[in-house]
A and B are shown apart, each in its own frame.
Chain A
Amino acid sequence: MTLRTVRSCTDTTIIEGVSPILSFWRDFRANKGAVTGLGFLLAMALAAIFAPWVAPYSPIDQFRDAMLTPPSWARGGSMRFVLGTDEIGRDLLSRLIHGGRLSLLIGLSAVLMSMIPGVALGLLAAFFPKGAGPVIMRVMDVMMALPALLLAIAIVAVLGPGLFNTIIAIAVVSIPGYVRLVRASAVSELSRDYVSAARMSGAGTLRLMFVTVLPNCLAPLIVHATLNFSTAILDAAALGFLGMGVQPPAAEWGSMLSSARDYIDRAWWVVTLPGVTILLSVLSINLIGDGVRDALDPKLKHTTS
């Protein structure tokens, strides 16, 4: 790791003038784990986007003649259902692919819906340390006092279960993270000379916020958003597992696990496969997050979230 740090430092001195995106990609590519994660995530995203064409069957078609069929490689399995079927004869592979749609949709929307208000509130808190700042931060403290999953459960308990409410609940509980992060990095940027210079030359507060300061807070923000994406997928699965997320018969990974609980002594595949899918997708996003962090800012290398 020492070697890589040194190398990436010299790289940036040599390739001065090369676009930052290119130099970022060079650093990112050096991280094998991150590239593997990116590959897996891309494959999953493609499968999710083209799910109706990729999946062999509809996720809700029931093959009553083939209930709890084991995967093709296990005894009693057949190539008709590659990953086997669940308790009412639905093809597991098709359900997992369609579940990827839901998980990615929930993850992406939750990240967007928490990042936008989070960034705005964080900048407000940094720019108005006498007025709005402390109020915003106290409210965020209160939200952070509750474990994220619990707050999400509470929100769903109030709004009722469902896809849209799951997204809202996960987005709301993710806001404080963004606010704290953006405020902290904006506050440290505000004391820099270039901000004073922009202020002297008459830039308004909004311009200072979004054009001058925000681009310089992007590195930690991107890293945080990546990690937030994986947490959102985990939390959505947890809500589904508790019966408070996306409702059946929709193929959601968490709710698939919840109905698989009853077959734990008979059908290992209905318990194992959805979990492996969740684990692999979350793991690949976390690997990407680590890679992005190392590539964007070698200084951040030794901090863990």
Chain B
Amino acid sequence: MLSFILRRIGLLVPSILGVTLLAFSLIRLVPGDPVEVMVGERALDPVMHAEALHRLGLDRAFYVQYADYLGQLAHGDLGQSLVTHDSIRDEFTTLFPATLELALAAMLFAMCFGLLAGVIAAVRRGSWLDQSLMGLSLTGFSMPAFWLGLLLIMLFSVRLGWTPVSGRIDLMFDIPPRTGFMLIDSWMAEQADPANNAGAFRDAALHLVLPAVTLGTIPMAVIARMTRSSMLEVLQEDYVLCARARGFSPARVIWVHALRNALIPVLTVIGLQVGTLMGGAVLTETIFSWPGIGKWLIDAILRRDYPVVQSGILMIALIVILVNFMVDVLYGIVNPRIRHVR
């Protein structure tokens, strides 16, 4: 087991280095040089131009700059935003919990309904229920997520007035940021100050529902399809027949005996969906004005705040790499056969 984990860590190092190189090169690939781009249309004094290049360290050799950049990263220094002049690391750590909360809620939604739909479709294979569930999941898979978000807003916020349109919580609540997770923070605030913050938790939950559904739809469709095909395979195994023959109830055979083994490939797919979630978060956060790192990144791109773009992309890639690594290790634990395959 240890050698398996070590081997995976060995594979991790070149990927991480590669991602830093990618994030680093990005800003250097901008046509013209970054100083000109930042200044924009205005003419720039050549002396000041050279000074600015020197100050940003852009006049040195590429590999020197890269080594420097790695050194900074090793100290946890992500640089400064050109617009707000705040530390990028601080901005990231403030905004990241919002994205994490949204992604977790979306994943929870996707897993509950995806697994349920997949298992039902597999058990009722070939029936109209199977066909309509799979038709629905193919539709979900083909859905432009940003449009789904707009539709949900149009229906639930504009027409029915059930849910708020944007943000994480109503402005009338005063929620001290303790964990960064609005659900927890609002609950704590409600407990601490019931007079002013009554209903804060409910409000935070209502804000979360539509974005989570929007973001979770594609992963849900993928999980449903994968669960169905994986269940179909497992249901034909001898041990399932054996469990049936021993007189276990059909529900127990399906949900305990079969699903447990069918989950192994589903787990990998769930791990792979983390990338999709991060990509989808950019769109979802833009639609719902959700103050997370996706919206932060898009705003930075539109404002040409290149250091933020660079670090944002780096951090998201690192998160995806780490999650996939953890899924790999988990997979090795669940399925011992994997450990010995090179």
Contact = CB atoms under 8 A, between A and B. Distances in A.
Interface of A: 1-2, 33, 138-139, 141-150, 153-154, 157-160, 230, 234, 237-238, 241-244, 254, 257, 260-261, 264-265, 268, 271-272, 274-275, 278-279, 282-283, 286-287, 290, 302-304
Nearest to B146: A241
B29 A238 contact: no
B144 interface: yes
A234 B126 contact: no
Contact of B229 (A261, A287, A304): A304
A29 to B, nearest CB: 19
B11 to A, nearest CB: 8
Contact of A279 (B14, B15, B147, B279): B147
B139 interface: yes
A150 B14 contact: no
Given A1-B126, A290-B138, 8 more contacts: A1-B125, A141-B18, A145-B324, A147-B276, A278-B144, A278-B147, A282-B142, A304-B226
A158 B313 CA distance: 13
6 contacts: A148-B279, A158-B30, A234-B142, A237-B146, A274-B147, A303-B229
B112 interface: no
B22 interface: yes
Contact of B18 (A1, A139, A154, A257): A139
Contacts of B297: 150, 153
Given A158-B30, A279-B144, A283-B138, A147 B232 contact: no
A141 to B, nearest CB: 5
B150 A275 contact: yes
B150 A147 contact: no
Contact of B15 (A141, A154, A275): A141
Q: Is the interface of B mostly helix, strand, loop or mixed?
A: helix
Contact of B283 (A2, A33, A230, A242): A242
Given A150-B279, A264-B154, A138 B14 contact: yes
Q: Is the interface of A mostly helix, strand, loop or mixed?
A: helix
Interface in B67-105: none
Contacts of B19: 142, 145-146
A239 to B, nearest CB: 10
A2 B153 CA distance: 42
A293 to B, nearest CB: 12
A145 B320 contact: yes
A153 B301 contact: yes
Nearest to A1: B126
B254 interface: no
B226 A275 contact: no
B242 to A, nearest CB: 22
B282 A150 contact: yes
Given A138-B15, A279-B147, A302 B278 contact: no
A261 to B, nearest CB: 7
B193 interface: no
Contacts of A257: 144, 146-147, 150
Contact of A243 (B143, B302, B316): B302
B15 A146 contact: no
B151 interface: yes
A234 B218 CA distance: 12
Contact of A242 (B15, B225, B298): B298
Contacts of A302: 229, 232-233
A270 to B, nearest CB: 10
Contacts of B298: 153, 242
A286 B142 CA distance: 7
Interface in B215-253: 222, 225-226, 229, 232-233
A109 B280 CA distance: 24
Nearest to A243: B302
A148 B313 CA distance: 12
- Counting chain A CB atoms within 10 Å of each CB, which of B143, B148, B232, B276 scores highest? B143
Nearest to A144: B275
Interface in B99-154: 125-126, 135, 138-139, 141-148, 150-151, 153-154
Contacts of B269: 304
Interface in B1-52: 11, 14-15, 18-19, 21-22, 26, 29-31
Contacts of A265: 154, 158
